[in-house]
Structure formats: structure tokens, C-alpha cells
Amino acid sequence: MKRLTLTGLLLFAALLLSAQPLQLAHVFSDHAVLQRETAAPVWGWGEPGKTVTVTASWTQEAVKAKVADDGSWRVTLPTGAAGGPYTLTVKSGKESLTVSDVMLGEVWVCSGQSNMEMPMRGFGFQQIDGFRENLLEAAEYASRIRVLNLKADTTHVVQRDMDFTWQHTDPAVYAETSAVAYLFAKRLTRNLGVPVGIIVNAWGGSRIEPWMTMEAVESAGVSAEDLAFIKELHETAGTWPNCVATCWNGRVAPIAGYAAKGFLWYQGCSNLGQGCYDKLQAAMVKLWREAWGRGDMPFIYALLAPHDYGQPDARTRPAFVETQMHVQQLVPDCYAVCLETLGAQHTIHPSRKQEVADMMVLRALSSCYGVPVYMPVDYPTPRSIEYLADGRVKILFNNVWSNLQSIEDRVIKGFELAGEDRMFHLADAEVDWDGQTVYVRCDQVPKPAAVRYSYRNLMDTNLKTSFGIPVPPFRSDDWPL
């Protein structure tokens, strides 16, 4: 009896599959942007065994594929130079689908937690600087900037598709679009002169582990203790985005492979204090690149900005930022942008999102597009630290190129010195006239043994280049925090 029931179920499933109508994944909708000058995968579902033909109005060549036994099909479609609008047509037997108003341009996948999710209209009592000015210009850019704003649920089951479509960023859509992603796209389209598509895929409060598979977490090389902690969260968190793979299943897997230039990532607050975060992020980048079929796909990410996190004088955040910075040494073509001068005491969401987007765009133009941007985009780091006989500490910086600070702001905030007693005191600092050296001194520490910069969760810091690139936290000591 069981055998007959199983056979009947299999036959019923086969009938359902054979009756499946021709479909395109929702990511291929009207108003879509496809990555220019590449081989763009296009996929969907249909009746097993049938041939699917895909044609695009920017080329006369059709591409074909046979629908697999599981009902899926996939083709690779060559794209040309930026432009449009075009149409995309999919046919199988008597069935036909047409996608209209398709542009060829630049596509970026923008992901993370609430600082990436935060829309141009802001959150409650938390605004985005420049909202009004950009709102008044939104209509002008509505067709040049298109957004696929993913709001799918998290899930323990891998999803093959999700019901969201591309939109023009008219004023109403603009207001609900990620501020970092939109402002990035606006700068990019103005600099490159091409349409830009942004896939906004962020979940407020999410840890990094939900954006990865369990296999990727286990391959990250974290300690047994860290892995046990992650798996305990996985077992107890349900589908809330603390649970491994829940964002991957519902939000990444359905769009994985959609041709794009690169990734923007703004996440970390929910993993604050996790010493293995660098290994997890490196494993996630590897996973995503494999899913997109490009091992060198650029990955631009933000370092955490200052915030008190309930303990303004604690050292948790700067230590975590150092861990974030380390990812660049583990994975090629990963680029961190520093937000050290953008922090706020009363909100974890800095309002100056234009500066975040600008630093990401500068990195993209310089490292991904080879566009000369005149100014350097790497943040300064200490090249050498010297303890002088007069009690001063001399710090020479890399990646300065012009000057640290402007002539009006050579007095620096955010430095601390400690002697052999390991007690840190706020120190005075000044940029030398060579523009790349900082001298630090503190009357309470006549014989310094260690120097730190911006090494608290929240400090009044201001060290940056004259081009506005902030200096990230650093310390000369390896003392326990």
C-alpha cells in the first residue's frame, strides 16, 4: 500500500511538473538593469524537455536551452554597451514572455543590516542628511537609477524565487530605498554616465551567519568554541536573522548569479565583539563569489562607526574594527572604507550616509573601473611609531599623499598615551608641517610605552586626510583589553 501511495505521489508530481507554465525568475522583470558587456545568466522554469529560446533587442543572436527534468532552465546572454531601453523575450513552444524597459549598465548588490537598510526617508527620529535636496532631484534620476528592493522573509528552506520586481526610483520609491545604495548609485551614474541598478538586500539586526550556509560557516576555520556558539544560536533563534543560512536561503539564493559588478556590505553591529568575524566574512565573500561565478568580484564594505554601545569608554568597537580591517589581508579584492569621523552617541545609524556612499564610490571608481579620481582612496595607517626622549610620540603615516588635516585643524583629538602602568590618559596631538607626521604628548605620561588612537567605542576624534579620508582606530600595544 505504501509503495502504491509513493508511486502515485511521484506520478502526481511528474504531472504537475510537466504542466508547469513558462516562467522567468522575478529578478528579470520590467525596468531591470543588466550588467553591461558581460555574459549574463538568465533563468526560469518550464515544461521538462522543451526548448526555451531567449532573445534580446540589443542583439540579433538567440540563445537556447532545454528545460531540465526538475523544470529549470538557464541560458547565458551576452550583453553589450550601456544603453536602452531594450526588450527581453523568452519563448517555449506556444508560450512567450516579454520583459520591457530593460537597461544595460552597472549593477551592484547592496547588503548588510540596518545601516544598509536605512532608507532615504530615515528611521523614526533618525534622519538622513540631504534627504530634501535628493528628493527634489529624484525625478531627474528615476530612470537612470533602478532598484530591486528585496523584503523576503528569512527561512530554513532554500527558495528558488521571490516575488519582487525592479522599479524606477521616482520620489516615492526613492524615499524607501537604502540611502547608502541610492547615494552610491547616484554618484556612480553621474561619473560613468550609464544606468545603475541596485539590488538592496538588507535586514536590520542581522548577524553575518544568516547570510552564509552552514557549510561555509564550518569551513571558515573558527575555533571549536566559536563554532559551538554559532550553532547554539542556530538552534535557538528560529528564523530570526541570528540563525545560520536563513537570509541566504530566502534572500541570496534566489538571486545568486544575477550578473553584477560587485557587492556593497554594511554590517557588523550584531556581531560586535566576535573575534572570529574576519574569518566568517572571508568565508562569506568566498561563498558569494562562488555563487555568482566570479572569484574576483569586488567586495566593498564599511567599518563600524563610533557609537557608545552602552559603554562609551569600552574598547569593544575599535578591537572589532581591527578585525574587520583584517579581512583585506585574507581575501583579495576586498576593500574597507573607514567611517571613524561619522559616529554618533544617540544613534547607531550615522545620518551622513552621503559620506559613506562617497567613500564606497571612490573605491569603486579607482579599483573597479580604473577611473582616475585624483585623490587617494586608501585610509592612512601608521608607518612607524617612535618614542622620543622628550616624552613625545612621533607617528609617521602611510597613504597620506597630500596632508593629514587642513591648516585650520591641525590640533588632533582622540589620542591616548600610557606608561608602563598601562593606564591610558587622553593626550594632545598635532600634525607636523610635513603633513604626514603626528606628535603626541601627555603631561600625565612623561615616559610613554603605548599610544592608541580612537580606541574607545565612542570618542571625540577628527584625524583624517585633507581629502576627508578618516584614519581608523589603531594601537601600538598588544595588552589585554
How many whole angstroms from its chain centre is CA 38?
22
pLDDT band at 256 (very low <50, low <70, confident <90, very high): very high
Higher per-residue confidence, 11 vs 99: 99
Considering the domain architecture, whether residues 178 and 327 belong to the same structural domain is answered as yes
Mean pLDDT within 348-358: 97
Number of structural domains found in the chain: 3
54-84 residue pLDDT tens:
999 999 889 999 999 999 999 999 999 999 9
Considering the domain architecture, whether residues 320 and 458 belong to the same structural domain is answered as no
Residue type at 238 in one-letter notation: G
Write out the H or E segment, with its range, that includes residue 385.
strand 382-387
SS3 237: coil
Instruction: Output the pLDDT for position 19.
Output: 63
424-462 residue pLDDT tens:
999 999 999 999 999 999 999 999 999 999 999 999 999
Of 76-85, 150-159, 196-205, 320-329, the range with the lowest mean pLDDT is 150-159
Phi, psi of 140 (to 5 degrees): -65, -35
Q: What angle do CA 109, 114, 118 make, to 5 degrees?
A: 80
382-421 residue pLDDT tens:
999 999 999 999 999 999 877 888 777 778 999 999 999 9
Single out the residue in 58, 74, 102 at which a domain terminates.
102
Considering the domain architecture, whether residues 91 and 128 belong to the same structural domain is answered as no
Instruction: Output the pLDDT for position 432.
Output: 92
Considering the domain architecture, whether residues 131 and 6 belong to the same structural domain is answered as no
230-253 residue pLDDT tens:
999 888 876 677 899 999 999 999
Q: What angle do CA 109, 46, 291 make, to 5 degrees?
A: 30
pTM confidence score: 0.94
Q: Are the CB atoms for 146 and 185 separated by under 8 Å?
A: no
Residue 305 belongs to a domain: yes
| CA distance linking residue 282 with residue 169, whole number of Å | 33
Considering the domain architecture, whether residues 343 and 455 belong to the same structural domain is answered as no
| CA distance linking residue 59 with residue 39, whole number of Å | 13
Q: What is the DSSP code string of 301-365? A: EEPPPP--TT-TT-SHHHHHHHHHHHHHHHSTTEEEE--TTS--SS-SS-S-HHHHHHHHHHHII
Instruction: Output the pLDDT for position 239.
Output: 64
Residue type at 203 in one-letter notation: W
- Please give the residue range of the domain that contains residue 398: 382-475
List Cβ neighbours of 338 (8 Å cut-off, separation of 6 or more).
303, 359, 379, 469, 470, 471, 472
pLDDT band at 100 (very low <50, low <70, confident <90, very high): very high
Considering the domain architecture, whether residues 11 and 80 belong to the same structural domain is answered as yes
Single out the residue in 102, 137, 155 at which a domain terminates.
102
